[in-house]
Amino acid sequence: MTASGKLSSDGKGKISAARARRAARNQPIVARNSKSKLIMLSLPCLVAAGVGIAGPIVGINFLGGGTLTHIAAAAIGAFVAFVLLQMAFDGEPVLVIDEDGITCRRPDLGTIPWSAVLGLGTSKATLLRKVFMIAVDADELDPQARRHVRNRVGLFSAFSPQVAKFEGQMKGHPSIHIPLSYFDISIAEFERQLAERVKFRG
């Protein structure tokens, strides 16, 4: 009876593990903008905007360039802060990786089907920021993503040997780079989930 009970328990354990693996395979990877990170980034911009506005009002040349310099600093600071805060409070997913492929809103790629994906990786790029690299077959992309590939500025490989190595391994196929630094999911967790999905896709 004891042996039988042990076998039964092991069998259930194996079934549960198999179900867990299937669930992990079917669970999409969803990344949204990190509210806290983007709010922190917006604070210096708000300070610059405040200083730019305050200078002409109180009659103090904080920036050393006169009224026009203050107005320009206020306008640029306010604009950048507005963009960052808009991103921070946008609750929609920015990146989704599921059975349909890789869907990204920033850059606005639409959905990259798995049939177009030739390679995946993550690497440090400019300013030590991590990027998600996707090598693609341009012929398999929809027009929206194909336009992005055609018009992209290829600076990542110039500043990152790792990105350049990845692109070299892809033998001339274009690659798309998605910044990971502003997501609410940690880079380590993203890489773990990505490895799981790639493993299950074979």
Chain segment 155-175, per-residue pLDDT in tens: 555 556 777 777 777 777 888
pLDDT at residue 19 in the model: 57
CA distance 66 to 71: 9
Q: Are the CB atoms for 19 and 25 separated by under 8 Å?
A: no
- Average pLDDT of every residue of the chain: 80
Model confidence, pTM: 0.72
Residue located via tokens 């989704």: 96
For range 139-145, the mean pLDDT: 85
pLDDT confidence tier of residue 43, bands split at 50, 70 and 90: very high
pLDDT confidence tier of residue 47, bands split at 50, 70 and 90: very high
Q: In the 3-class helix/strand/coil scheme, how is 33-100 assigned residue by residue?
A: ECHHHHHHHHHHHHHHHHHHHHHHHHCCCCCCCHHHHHHHHHHHHHHHHHHHHHHHCCCCCCEEEECC
pLDDT at residue 56 in the model: 83
At 76-106, the pLDDT tens digits run 999 999 999 999 999 899 999 998 899 998 8
pLDDT confidence tier of residue 122, bands split at 50, 70 and 90: confident
The residues near 184 (Cβ < 8 Å, ≥ 6 apart) are 31, 32, 33, 34, 35
As given in the structure block, the two tokens for residue 56 are 């002409």
